[in-house]
Chain A
Amino acid sequence: MSDHYDEFEEEEFTTQFNGRTVARIIGQLKPHWPYAVGFLVLIAFVSFLDSYFTFLSKQIIDEGIVAQDKQALVSIVTRYGSLIVIQALAVFGFIYLTGILGHKVRYDLRKAMFAKLQQLSLGYYNRTPIGWIISRVTSDADRVAELVTWGMLDVTWAVTNIATALYFMWIINAKLTVLVAVILPVIVVVALEFKKRIIIQYRNVRRINSKITGHYNETITGVRVIKGLRREEANLAEFSELSGEIYRAGYRAAWLSALFLPAVQLIAAFAVGSVIWYGGLQAQVGGISIGGIQAFISYITFMLWPIQEMARVYASMQQAVASGERIFSLLDSTPEVVDKPAAFDPGSMQADIEFDHVDFAYEEGKPVLENFNLLVKQGETIALVGPTGGGKSTIVNLICRFYEPTGGVIRIGDQDYTDFTQRAIQSRIGMVLQTPHLFSGTIRENLRYGRLDASDAEIEEAARMVGAHEFIMKLEKGYDEEVGEGGGLLSVGEKQLISLARAVLAQPDIFIMDEATSSVDTLTETLIQQGMETLMEGRTSFIIAHRLSTIRNADRILVIENGHITEMGTHRQLLALGGHYYRLYTQQFRKDAEDMEEIKPEVALAYGD
């Protein structure tokens, strides 16, 4: 079962500890340093008081009870009481400062990452799964913020607590303090080793748990197939292997954690036993008081908490540092497409577009375009046809400057287009994708995305122009209808109409469209055709075409195969050529009309994906 899943999460934990990353994580506090200083001072003070309270309890016993001195008792109790109030104020202070600081760091990190993400080029997005990026912005930012605030707080509290406890113990009895100081490192080492093992177990549980979620997800989304193939028993058997795995891992993790405290406590008990032994011998000779013995027992017993906290922070620190590394790797990514320092906005992209000996590769050594040449006159409509992976989308991506050529030049109006700003080019391109992306919100909001200052009348006008107005008005709330996440409440055809209207609003100089391959009902398809024609008027247009009517109406058709233009010309010219285009075209129509047996297998294979 386990090899059905990629062990993606593994990578999260193998990151090496890196001092520079730690420094950079702590550097996140810099803009808010007064908060950091404030909470550190306050927590140290609170921690000191925690130790001092135990010392005061000792004084109650020795100077009050044993000395039979009510006067002294009253004065100790008064001091104790006022310190409780002071400590409460300090507690308020550190919770507030630490918490605020944490939220500030989270906020800063999220903001910085989002801003970076807006700059990064499309290449980054093709390499990086969206889920990965989202975890960086949410859980990784949380972990880093947690470490520099509550993590640092806990460690400061723990270290101060142990140090001040040792100081008070030293005041009470130096010899016994040495004994404690010997046992202390043993406890710390045992605690750390334990925590490390427990953490590994819980990671294991989490890893299996994500497989379990995956299995549930597949069972639900694929329930039709499971039922249709009558596969229920086999599916349950596979799942119960997984649930058995997580049972064993979870059980192991749980009993290991259950062993942690008892084990550490037992070591401490030896220290307490020694105190009793030693105290029994020394008390009579005045080596240690009754209150002193009680104080030692308390200090030793409660020293387990700071140690446990330190072990916890230590364990989570590795993860937080790994989180930090991933965040910084995102923040340090450089966009592949950068504006030149002198880049400018020529004010218009109404010009000829020329590909001059253009080479391009997404990955080194795997060229997609080679020595590609093309001159497109302003206002021309170009239809791009050819097999998947042939380079059609690449040409479009290059025009949009989502990528830049690895060799050669692309010119818009005789000027290398890298001399322009990206914004100058992209804000003048209207784009309609094969599966159009809408944002959640109303139809109106989505249309307005094309031009943010468009009035409602202009929006309606644009919708009318592409023939989207009718279907929008049929919706219950018209333009105020919610489209759902990713436009999920609309059909593909409707989404295309809306994205056409959105492109109309943007009044682009260049129009790019990737036609939908999926079935759209006949009426909507006619509307889309009309909408496209509206948009193509007077604009330089590039259409990745699947519909034959589109292809035929284009000024020029380019058959793109293996990164080259294999055929170019008008519909008639290409048909007369009798080459690829001819076969493609006739295949599409003739095979529908004629018997399927007549399709020549070699034609079919030539266009196989």
Chain B
Amino acid sequence: MGVETFPAITTRKEAVIAWGQKNSLWPMPFGTACCAIEFMAVAASVFDISRFGAELVRFSPRQSDLLLVAGTVTFKQAPILKQIYEQMCDPKWVISMGVCASSGGFYNNYCTVQGIDQIIPVDVYISGCPPRPEAILTAVMKLQHKIENPATTPPAQFMAKEPKFGY
């Protein structure tokens, strides 16, 4: 018996809203370095971030709900990043893309913020300098799972697997 014979399904209101949110993430790229170039590759057709519903890049924080910090953030830029984050409407999520945004990277010096989590809360971190496009897609999938299942474990494909070859 399918939907055709019984045209109603039961669910929770939260689940429907989360389903809509996770499939229409509108990213706002805060691109300050080479990671932003890598994000362009993700948005283009080969890797195609639109498969995850996150292709509508907005360069206004008022219209977006995913802040994608791609690149090195200096102390001179830190108030700007903070202001952009505060201008975004709830609900909002943050992906820290690349090692510079996540931890300062090799810029262990006088001018670089050692990780944007010192300024704004971060949902998903991506390693790499710059990350591969697949890593960004993985981060989007992780964030989708996080939106769908608030405060649960990571999805099964990110958990440690059984060894492939059992001796």
Q: Do A and B come from one complex?
A: no
A residues engaging B (CB < 8 A)? none
